[in-house]
Chain A
Amino acid sequence: MMQYDIVVVGGGPAGLAAAIKAKKEGIDKVLIIERDKELGGILQQCIHNGFGLHIFQEELTGPEYAERFIKEVEKLEIEYKLDTMVIDLSPKKVITAINSVEGVISIQAKAVILAMGCRERTRGAISVPGTRPAGVLTAGMAQRSINIEGYMVGKKAVILGSGDIGLIMARRLTLEGAQVEAVLELMPYSGGLTRNIVQCLDDYHIPLLLNHTIIEIKGKERVEGVIVAKVDENKNLIIGSERYIECDTLLLSVGLIPENELSRKAGVEIDNVTGGPIVNESMETNISGIFACGNVVHVHDLVDWVTKESMRAGKSASKFAKQLLNNQDSININVGCGIRYVVPHKISLSEKKETIELYMRTDNVYCNADIVIQVNGETVKKLKKPRLNPGEMQSIKLQLKQIQLEKNPIITVCVDKGRAENGI
């Protein structure tokens, strides 16, 4: 059996940053396992710009952002295996992986960092009625097809879902000569960044139809069109609002699911809201020595935050490998009104840190509201926000000095809607 100090599962932005940090912290034997034929993950297909504003103070494309980290991995001589799929992980941190050169391999790690990212929800996940023609694909699949494989996906498209990938693909298809008829969004607000609505839709006069969905896909061999309809505030179809849009392609940008089959096999506890592991501020899961970071924990809006979080995981894992990390007891961070989830989920009592950063998403659009941290019902921190959007991740710093953790306080994060008007 091979032996490593730290094994990182996944060579995307999370895995790269975690591995680099671990190596820099003095861990010698670090291994990255990647199932694709190169490092970089989904960044390699995100050829648009807008990455790295926080980490590098400049606007990079996805491949450029990835390349900076890949170069660092090479420079630090961090080992990696490509075209290799991890098929099992035990609570004792034995990894079983498979590739076509070595066959089945077993690796014993002192610490494991889960960085598998997420995958897209597909047509099956949202149960769109209709026929099953060619031309229905996820936005990310279309992105890969156009930007990496070099195949155009269609001429006339409708996009369901206004998450960032859907918006980016609306622009990409338009630039490549396709007609994008509309982007439909079931919710009354877009799931993507405001700047993407401006530079991907408004710039090209692509209509964003809020409170709309697709009720039927038409076509025999290939998509011929879709029937769209308006929904009311309870997401029920408004009868009589149905309308037919002719198209040959339907892109789905209807959410991402953290990819945690492997985590579950190792007995890692999963949060039902995020779909990712429950972690403490060291990004350690309930299984001692198994850490997680990036989109496998919760879906981030910006890769910069993935990098930051993953460096934290890399640092913690290196402490664990040196037997310097002791996270036994912890207290929970409670999710209050207006908040969907908070990561980290817990704060450990043994690790004395001055401040920790809490990341969260709200459950709705709020204007002029505050994000509030309460300890035993008393507000210890308040962050004023002109606008809170579920598509944009929020963060707030918690000063641990203010809190006597050993007294088991009740810590809650919520949105104070005192001044808020709900909705847009």
Chain B
Amino acid sequence: MGSKQIVCIVCPVGCTLKIAKELNEYSVNGNKCAKGKLYAIEEETRPTRIVTSTVKIANGHLNRLPVKTSSPIPKKLVFKCMEEIKRIEVEAPIRVGEVLVNNVLGSDVNIIASRSMYKE
């Protein structure tokens, strides 16, 4: 592979990273922090994303409960993960961080509530 340019999405600074592979080593330029280098290599080898969505909740003061994956999941699983999220139905009360689905799609990642919701 030659050198490739990507924009870092780790933080809002959005550094433009140049990544190149020489022999078996990746070299990354343009990153302002260590996270940028890791991101570039991961984006090249195994891109991941955090998925956020909402699920149906009963007895809450709102109709939907926001949820997220507890850590990033492989990018290719994003839509499959949305299918899993679609099937979730919960009941208030819920506490922020509560695990709603363990090990979604066998990925070692959980779907967790991203806010608390009291019973109405």
A residues neighboring B (CB under 8 Å): 37-38, 44, 47-50, 53, 59, 61-64, 66-67, 146-150, 175-176, 193-195, 197-199, 203, 301-302, 392
CB–CB B11/A53 < 8 A: yes
Q: Mark B39-75, 1 if CB is under 8 A from A, else 0.
A: 0000000000111111010000111101010000001
Q: What are 9 A-B interface contacts by the 8 Å CB criterion?
A: A47-B54, A53-B12, A61-B66, A148-B63, A175-B78, A176-B53, A195-B7, A195-B11, A198-B7
For the complex, give the distance between the alpha carbons of A148 and B61 in Å.
10
Are A67 and B96 in contact (CB-based, < 8 A)? yes
Give chain A nearest CB distance to B13 CB in angstroms: 8
Q: A193–B115 contact, CB under 8 A?
A: no
Q: Given A53-B12, A67-B116, A302-B12, decide whether A150 and B63 contact each other with a Cβ distance below 8 A.
A: yes
Decide: B68 and A147 in contact? CB cutoff 8 A. Answer: no
| Cα of A337 to Cα of B75 in the assembled complex, Å | 43
- Within the assembled complex, what's the spacing in Å between the Cα atoms of A52 and B52? 16
Shortest CB-to-CB span from B90 to chain A, Å, is 13
Q: Is B9 an interface residue (CB 8 A)?
A: yes
- Beyond A64-B114, A195-B9, list 16 extra A-B contacts (CB 8 Å): A44-B115, A47-B53, A47-B54, A49-B52, A49-B68, A50-B12, A53-B11, A61-B52, A61-B68, A63-B114, A150-B64, A175-B78, A194-B7, A197-B7, A198-B7, A392-B12
Check A199–B9 contact: CB distance below 8 A: yes
Q: How far is the CA of A176 from the CA of B85 in the complex (A)?
A: 11
Q: Which of B8, B51, B53, B54 contacts A195 (CB 8 A)?
A: B8
Note all chain A residues with C-beta closer than 8 A to B66: 47, 61-63, 147
Q: Could you say which of B10, B61, B62 has the most chain A C-beta atoms within 10 Å of its C-beta? A: B62
Chain B residues contacting A66 (CB-CB under 8 Å) are 115
Q: Which of A37, A148, A199, A302 contacts B64 (CB 8 A)?
A: A148
Q: Is A38 touching B61 in the complex (CB atoms < 8 A)? A: yes
B82 is an interface residue with CB less than 8 A from chain A: yes
Q: How far is the CA of A118 from the CA of B57 in the complex (A)?
A: 29
| CB-defined contacts of B10 to chain A, threshold 8 Å | 195
Chain A residues with CB under 8 A of B93: none
A175 adjacent to B63 (CB under 8 Å): no
- Inter-chain contact total with CB atoms closer than 8 Å: 78
Query: Is the beta-carbon distance between B96 and A59 smaller than 8 angstroms?
Result: no
Return B81 CB to nearest CB of chain A, in Å.
Answer: 9
CA A193 – CA B12 in complex, angstroms? 7
Do B14 and A47 touch across chains, with their CB atoms under 8 A apart?
no
- Whose C-beta in chain B lies nearest to the C-beta of A43? B115
* Distance of A163 from chain B, by nearest CB (Å): 14
Q: Is the CB of A150 within 8 A of B56?
A: yes
The 7 lowest CB-CB distance pairs between A and B, nearest first, are A63-B115, A194-B14, A150-B63, A47-B66, A195-B9, A61-B114, A150-B64
- B6: nearest chain-A partner, CB-CB: A198
Looking at B7, B49, B82, which has the most chain A CB atoms within 10 Å of its CB? B7
Find chain A residues with CB under 8 A from B75 CB. 203
Which chain B positions have C-beta within 8 A of A44? 115
Interface centre among A49, A59, A146, by most B CB within 10 Å?
A: A49
- Measured CB to CB, the closest approach of chain B to A62, in angstroms, equals 8
In the bound assembly, the distance between CA atoms of A147 and B66 in angstroms comes to: 7
Task: A392 to B86: give the CA distance in the assembly, Å.
Answer: 34
- A170 CB, nearest partner CB in chain B, Å: 14
Bound-state CA distance A168–B10 (Å) is 16
- Contact of A148 with B62 at beta-carbon distance under 8 Å, contacts A50-B12, A301-B12 already known: yes
Expressed in whole angstroms, the Cα–Cα distance for A185 and B68 within the complex equals 30
Task: Encode B77-107 as 1/0 by CB contact (under 8 A) with A.
Answer: 0110010000000000000100000000000
Q: Are B64's CB and A195's CB within 8 A?
A: no
Q: Which residues of B contact A199 (CB under 8 A)?
A: 9, 49
The answer for the CA separation of A194 and B6 in the assembled complex, in Å, is: 11
Nearest residue (CB) in B for A48 is B52
- Asked if B53 contacts A175 (CB within 8 A), the reply is yes
A64 and B114 CA atoms in complex are apart in Å by 6
Q: Find chain B residues with CB under 8 A from A146 CB.
A: 54
- The answer on a CB contact under 8 Å between A47 and B12 is no
Chain B residues with CB under 8 Å of A203's CB are 49, 75
A147 to B54 Cα, complex, angstroms: 6
CB distance from B65 to the nearest CB of A (A): 9
B12 touches A195 (CB 8 A): yes
Cα A175 to Cα B10 with chains together (Å)? 21
Q: What is the distance, in angstroms, from B119's C-beta to the closest C-beta of chain A?
A: 14
Complex-state Cα separation, A62 to B66, whole angstroms: 10
CA distance A63 to B68 in the complex (A): 11
| Residue contact A47 to B63, C-beta cutoff 8 Å | no
Residues in B with CB closer than 8 Å to A38 are 61
Task: Tell me, in angstroms, the Cα distance from A63 to B60 when the chains sit together.
Answer: 15
